[in-house]
Structure 1
Amino acid sequence: MEFLDLELARARQRLSRAELSLRRANEMLDEDCGVGINIALCSRIRAAQRRVAEARLRLMKIDPTSADGFRTG
C-alpha cells in the first residue's frame, strides 16, 4: 500500500508542476515581449500542455478517482 501512495504522490506532484509551468508560460505570453519571445513561449506552452496531459493520464492510470480534484484545461 505504501508504494501506491508514493506513486500517487509523485503523479500528483508531476501534474501540479506541469500545470504551474503552463500557467507561468501563459502569463509570460500575455506580457507581449515581442515576436521572437512569443514564438519560443508558444513552443514552451505546447510542451507544458503535453506534460500536463501525460501527468494527468499517469495519475488516472494509478487511481482513476484521484484526478477529479485537478483542473481539466
Structure 2
Amino acid sequence: MELLTLELARARQRLNRAELALERANAMLDEDCGVGINLRLCDRIRSAQQRVGEAKARLVKLDRASTDSVHSG
C-alpha cells in the first residue's frame, strides 16, 4: 500500500510539473517574440500537452488501483 501511495504522489507531482510547463510556454507564446521563437514554443506546448495527458492517464490508472485495493482489501 505504501508503494502505491508513493506512486500516486509521484504521478501528482509529474502532473503538476507538466501543467506548470504548459502554462509557462503558453504565457511565453503570448509575448511577441518573432515567428521562429513562436514555432519553437508551439512545439514545446504540444510536448507539454502530451506530458499532461500522459500524467493524467497515469494518475487515473494509479487512483483506480488504489480504489480497487481498498475495496478488495
Structure 1 length normalisation: TM-score? 0.86
Structure 2 gaps of 5+ residues are 65-73
The equivalent residue for 1:43 is 43
**Counterpart residue type for residue 13 of structure 2:** Q
Report the alpha carbon displacement of residue 55 of structure 1 after superposing the two structures with TM: 0.2
RMSD between superposed Cα atoms in Å: 0.6
Structure 1 gaps of 5+ residues are 65-73
Report the alpha carbon displacement of residue 32 of structure 1 after superposing the two structures with TM: 1.4
The equivalent residue for 2:21 is 21
The equivalent residue for 2:68 is none
Moved over 6 A (4+): none
Higher relative contact order (CA 8 A, sep 6+): 2
**Counterpart residue type for residue 60 of structure 1:** V
Give percent identity, aligned residues only. Answer: 73
Question: Which whole-Å CA distance do the structure 1 matches of 2:60 and 2:32 have between them?
Answer: 35
Question: Which whole-Å CA distance do the structure 1 matches of 2:32 and 2:63 have between them?
Answer: 39
| Structure richer in helix, relative to its length | 2
* Aligned-partner SS, 1:63: helix
Structure 2 length normalisation: TM-score? 0.86
Question: Which whole-Å CA distance do the structure 2 matches of 1:37 and 1:3 have between them?
Answer: 42
- Bigger Rg, structure 1 or 2: 2
Say if 2:67 is the partner of 1:57: no
